[in-house]
Every structure is written in structure tokens, then in C-alpha cells.
Amino acid sequence: MTDGYRIRAATREDAELLVAFTIREAQDAEGVTLNAGGVARGVASALEDPALARYWVAETPDGRVVASVSVTTEWSNFYGGHYWWVQSLFVAAEHRGRGLADLLLDYLARAAASAGALDLRLYAHEDNARARRVYDRCGFTRARYLLMRRSVTTARGTSATRES
């Protein structure tokens, strides 16, 4: 069902769409409304500096971008290599159920292996059963780690993120 879709590295020309996808992903997955300015800064920064994050998009045969995925890396001093973390994954509603998430995650797994990554990791919101089914189907397994966080305050005295 993924015939005709093409995956390519995202470019600066994709920035506006990547911002829109990120905002929709947060709303769909967690019911969170993100600040568009903050998302735009994050996407633009990553497109300028791939060391921050890398984005790929999926296009239809006629060139419309209908899905995106991004990864960040984390250095492991235990194993002397990088973990690749799926930072975002979004498929436009009208293209869901066609295997695009599988196509994107398989592409990332091959890219990670080619780059010598230790493995491909992600976290999913515990209430997002749909995403968890996709990740299970794509070969992700539960890790033995518990995700924990500690809020820090910015110079303005506010938290940079909010717990969702």
C-alpha cells in the first residue's frame, strides 16, 4: 500500500509544513497545544544544524509531502556509540492506514544501521494506544527503563516545557 511514496531528507523549504505537522502531532498524540513560534525555532534550528535533529519527509507520487519523521542522537559512554531517538512521527490523516509509518520507521532503521547506531529508540505517550500498536508492529519492544524528568526554570522563571 506504500507504492509510489518516496522518502527524502527534509529541506528548509519543508519547514512550514514540518511546523504544522509537529503541532498536529502534539495535539493528536497528547492533546497538547504547542506554541507555534517555539516549534518554528526548533524546526529551523534542526534544519540548519543536523547535529540537533534530522528530518525526512514522505511524498506522494505527485510530490505532496504527507508525512514526516525526525531523529535525535544520544551518545552512550557505556557502549561508545549513538542511540537514534525517534523525535517525531506524523502521517497526514488522509494517508494513515497505508503503511507510511512502517515505511518511515523501516527507512530510519536502515539509516541508523548504516550510520553505525546502537539501536533505534522512541518513547510514546502511555495513552496513545494507536501509536503503540504501530511501534509494536514495527518491531519496537518495551525497554527496561523508566522515563523520568525534572523541570528546570528559564531565566524568565518559567518552565520551558509542561508535563502532559
pLDDT of residue 126: 86
Report the topology of domain 6-137: Aminopeptidase (3.40.630)
Please spell the DSSP secondary structure of 24-56, one letter per residue: HHHHHHH-----HHHHHHHHHHHHH-TTT-EEE
pLDDT tens digits for 67-125? 999 999 999 999 999 999 999 999 999 999 999 999 999 999 999 999 999 999 999 88
pLDDT of residue 164: 46
Q: How confident is the model at residue 158 (pLDDT cuts 50, 70, 90)?
A: low
Please compute Rg for the chain using Cα positions. Answer: 16
Q: Is the pLDDT of residue 64 over 70?
A: yes
Instruction: Tell me the three cell numbers of residue 94.
Output: 488522509
Residue of 78 and 2 predicted with greater confidence: 78
If pLDDT is split at 50, 70 and 90, which confidence band does 30 have? confident
Q: Which residue has the cell 496513545?
A: 128
Share of the chain above pLDDT 70, in %: 93
Written as nine digits, the cell of 49 is 544544524
**What pLDDT is attached to residue 5?**
96
The full set of domain ranges for the chain reads 6-137
Contact yes or no for 56/10 (Cβ under 8 A): yes
Mean pLDDT over 143-160 rounds to 79
> Can you tell me the distance from the alpha carbon of 103 to that of 59, in angstroms, rounded to the nearest whole number?
12
Give the per-residue SS3 of 120-146.
EECCCCCCCHHHHHHHHHCCCCCCCCC
Query: If you average pLDDT over residues 9-24, what whole number do you get?
Result: 97
